[in-house]
Amino acid sequence: MSEPRKIGLRAAIAAGLLVYLAAGLAQLGPGDGERDHIFPFISWNMFAYAPLRGPYYVLVTRNAGKSYDPPREIGEAVASDEQRRIDIVAMANTLAGSVADGDKPRVEAARREIEGRVLTAPWSYDVYEGKNRLATWSSR
């Protein structure tokens, strides 16, 4: 291979790597991991964990006034050892997502599921997305 051609090919490869990197950086931000990628070469963040969306804050409080636990973000709640609390968090997050989506049938279904399957005592819920309270309910 002639020297200029060799240099040209090497430079093209180096430029390609940099362009790929730059195009990937341009995609950083909300929406990553979804269908809005520049299709399909630049699906660069395939191994990036989805950005922590929300986060949905779900406060679970006892009606009697005593809190079951201090109000928690879902992350803290799920970090505990109790499988039951994980279940609460999973279902409450479904509830919060449904509220955020304005999906009333799903909200009711998720709420019934929490009341029926997880909670054995009366509870009230405050559902937050970020710092905005989306809803408050009493279970009974």
Kindly tell me which of 76 and 108 has the beta carbon lying closer to another protein. 76
What is the closest distance, in whole angstroms, from the C-beta atom of residue 80 to another protein in the complex?
9
Kindly tell me which of 16 and 122 has the beta carbon lying closer to another protein. 16
Kindly tell me which of 11 and 122 has the beta carbon lying closer to another protein. 11
What is the closest distance, in whole angstroms, from the C-beta atom of residue 34 to another protein in the complex?
7
Kindly tell me which of 7 and 121 has the beta carbon lying closer to another protein. 7
What residues line the site for another protein (CB under 8 A)? Answer: 1-2, 5-11, 13-17, 20-21, 24-25, 28, 32-35, 37, 39-41, 43-52, 55, 73-79, 81, 86, 89-90, 93-94
User: 3-state secondary structure string, the chain?
Assistant: CCHHHHHHHHHHHHHHHHHHHHHHHHCCCCCCCCCCCCCCCCCCCCCCCCCCCCCEEEEEEECCCCCCCCCCCHHHHHCCCCHHHHHHHHHHHHHHHHHHHCCHHHHHHHHHHHHHHHCCCCEEEEEEECCEEEEEEECC
